[in-house]
Structure 1
Amino acid sequence: MPPSYILTTGATGFIGAHVVSHLLSKGIRVRGTYRSQKKVDVIVSHFRTLYGDKVDTLLDFVYTGDLAAPGCFDEALKGGIDAVIHCASPLNFTLTPSEIINPAISGTKSLLASITATPSVQKLVVLSSFAAVVDEFNKGLGPDVEYTANDWNPITYEQGMSELRYSYLASKALSEKQVWEWKGKEEEGGRVGVVSLCPPLVFGPIAHPVEKISELNSSNAELWFLTTGFSPLPLSPVPAWVSIHDLTTALVNAAIDDSITNKRYTIASPQPFSSQLAADSFRELFEWAKERVTEGEPGKYPDVSKLEGDIAKKELLGGKEYVGWKETLLEAVEQFKKIEDAEKDKTK
């Protein structure tokens, strides 16, 4: 039986809000976790304009507080929750390594313990990351390298704690490994179907109103940073990307399709990403960008590793082609420009 009541953690974040919106559009009851009442109020009001009064019967929120606190998800899983889409994860590069890694691991442990104690939950979909796949220490990101869902980042806790740039990699790799270890214990996660998705950079519009450009998620912020005129163009640490629309569809389908279970996926557009590609597209598609985006070396794109996405396209997207790069950029950047313009108007 497909789930009828889905918990989405991190529901007020970039990806989580898209997941909630997608579930509502399908008429599926959804509960979100939150830590900011203001964000909840904005999201609920916006979704009412999209889906009407049914939002009041299909959507509710539960406060979780500190995601690393034992039992913080207990209340959120009450009331017949039968599937979980886990999108919550700390991502703040101004933190220390321990502030990035430890909450991610502790939060995952807390969620898994709560699911173990909740017999109604039959499915867990985990939003992991390319960070849990890439092996910078051995394989690297060279043009002859291809990553698939069979690849795992071998980073250790100690390596993650040693340098800030490794902290996010460790947080995603170690927390996802924790999920699969739990799944392998019959008395804990054995009855629960588990699916994990490992996307690279995620681009696309925000699903709910935001007032400031500074509120963009990290991937979109990397894209928008190019409009500051930074020169030379920065090298992107991730050579692959996926549209928020494709990722959202994949996460929801993984949760509601009984045939999709106990499997890990990489999901990515077949077109590699680079700052030069983005700069070229900015300057081609937006007249204002010609004065704000560094030209660089048009058409000169680096040879980079490939991230396999065909299996996810077939099994999670129904064989539909990935949303294209220019379509994604147009939709996202037009929204971001409006946010920027509105923000400037308020300061006049």
Structure 2
Amino acid sequence: MSGKGKTVLITGGSGFVAAHVLNAFLERGYNVRTTVRSEATAENVKKSHSKYLDQLSFAIVKDVALPGGHDEAVKGVDGVIHTASPFVLSVEDNERDLLQPAVRGTTEVLKSIQKHNPNVKRVVITSSFASILDLNKGLRPGHTYTEKDWNPISYEEAAKKDAPGPVAYCASKKLAEKAAFDYVAEHNPNFNITTICPPMVYGPTAHTVSDLSKLNTSAAEIYHLMDGSQKEVPATSFYLWVDVRDVGEAHVRAYENPASAGQRYLCTAGRYTFQQICNVLRKDFPERRHLTPEGNPNEPLPDTYDVDTTKIRTELGIKFRSLEESIHDMAVEFIQIEKQLGIKH
């Protein structure tokens, strides 16, 4: 399907996942308006997506949770893809710094669309496997997660002063996604929503990287396994992953498919461990083997929860990339960036 002549708003266009969502729409011929926090960020997006400049435009939104912050950005577009989510590194107050911004960051966008653009029929929202996973159940051997599962944590539990950061973060994703579905049920707007729920996201970047010490979290994890700074194979905390290019593709297919209205999609290639990632790096880049921890190469996958991705594969036709392809492409890109920056090992 071609998006020629159609315009979508993609919020938070400078992010790791968002940059690939932009690519997926731009490649299909859509005009994309994207929100960024500053002119400087807009310049970075222009650099990384330079072959699509005639299809790209920008709206400055300094704070996604601000009431009315997206009023101008939503005017005149045919659809909205909401990827922006408040990202806070040090949280003093779970409720103030994480839960409220995440929930409001989603509902305020929906309010702006309902008020200012009755032509929008479809909104796709980037959620997370964090809104599906039950952290209290741990590795949960024998359980298969599907789109029917919801992280059971309540707002009250997550808002507690002593709730750990990861618990509050997972709760913020669940509460924001729930708030979106509740908004549609309560306000009956002209649009319907679809949510995409990826776990750990790896793969090459499509946004501008000028400093390898300022990578996004998941990219930094992989880079540190090949630059000599990580001496041991780290423990795996979430056992599911997906390639960022497949996440971008899932957004555009969900947007274009009428049957995905009101649906959520678990978007994952399956299980992995950091040991498997180290195995790929050591096999594919022998000249850097001394920089990548060896660990225990034959270590089997532990007995953990599994996932059923039948829904996204059949309804959206997504074929997931392999871990080897994803990590290989990521490493090749890191090596290119090192060359550009004159970094030697």
Q: Percent identity?
A: 33
Structure 2 residue aligned with 1:115: 113
SS for the counterpart of 1:77 is coil
- Contact 2:47/2:208 (8 A) holds in 1: no
For the residues of structure 1 that align with 2:289 and 2:229, how far apart are their CA atoms?
10
- Letter in structure 1 aligned against 2:248: T
Structure 2 residue corresponding to 1:141, chosen from 139, 142, 156: 139
CA distance in 1, matches of 2:306, 2:243: 16
Distance in 2, matches of 1:298 and 1:143, equals 22
Partner letter of residue 69 of structure 2?
C
Give the corresponding residue for 1:99: 97
Aligned partner of 1:71 in structure 2 is 68
TM-score by length of 1: 0.90
> How many angstroms apart in 2 are the aligned matches of 1:281 and 1:293?
10
Quote the offset at 1:221 in angstroms. Answer: 2.0
Contact 1:232–1:294 under 8 Å retained in 2? yes
Deviations 1:205-258 (A, max 9, x none): 111331112332222222223234534422222101111111111101111222
Question: 4+ residue runs of structure 1 moved beyond 6 angstroms?
Answer: none
Q: CA–CA distance in 2 between the matches of 1:252 and 1:158?
A: 35
Unaligned runs of 5+ in 1: none
SS in 2 for 1:8: strand
Structure-1 residue corresponding to 2:277: 278
Are residues 1:41 and 2:39 paired? no
Q: Assess if the C-alpha contact under 8 Å between 2:82 and 2:123 holds in 1.
A: yes
Q: CA deviation at 1:124?
A: 0.8
Q: How far off is 1:274 after superposition?
A: 0.7
Question: What's the counterpart of residue 194 of structure 2?
Answer: 195
1:233 corresponds to which residue? Answer: 233
- The whole-number CA distance in structure 2 between the counterparts of 1:22 and 1:195 is 17
* Higher alpha-carbon deviation: 1-10 or 108-117: 1-10
Return the TM-score normalized by structure 2. Answer: 0.90
Cα root mean square deviation, aligned: 2.0
2:17 pairs, out of 7, 15, 18, with: 15
What is the Cα deviation at residue 267 of structure 1?
A: 1.3
Greater shift, 257-266 or 7-16, is seen at 257-266
For residue 64 of structure 1, what is the amino acid of its counterpart?
V
CA distance in 2, matches of 1:222, 1:310: 29
Q: Is 1:31 aligned with 2:48?
A: no
Q: 1:75 aligns to what SS in structure 2?
A: coil
Q: Distance between the aligned counterparts of 1:229 and 1:65, measured in 2?
A: 35
Asked if structure 2 preserves the Cα contact closer than 8 Å seen for 1:205 and 1:332, the reply is: yes
Q: CA deviation at 1:20?
A: 1.3
Pick one of 49, 60, 67 that aligns with 2:57.
Answer: 60
Please report how far the alpha carbon of residue 2 of structure 1 lies from its aligned counterpart in structure 2 after TM superposition. 8.8
The residue type equivalent to 2:312 in the other structure is A
Partner of 2:7: 5
CA contact (8 A) 1:83 1:124 kept: yes
Q: What's 2:83 paired with?
A: 87
Partners of 2:247 and 2:310 in 1: how far apart?
Answer: 13
Query: Which residue identity is paired with 1:133?
Result: I
Unpaired segments of 5 or more residues in structure 2?
none
Question: Counterparts of 1:314 and 1:245 in 2: how far apart (Å)?
Answer: 18
* CA offsets 1:176-228 (integer angstroms, 9 cap, x no match): 0000101212xx24431211011111111111331112332222222223234
Q: 1:194 aligns to what SS in structure 2?
A: strand
CA distance in 2, matches of 1:285, 1:182: 48
- Matching residue's letter, 2:90: T
Count of residue pairs brought into register by the alignment:
334
What secondary structure, in the 3-state scheme, does the structure 2 residue paired with 1:17 have?
helix
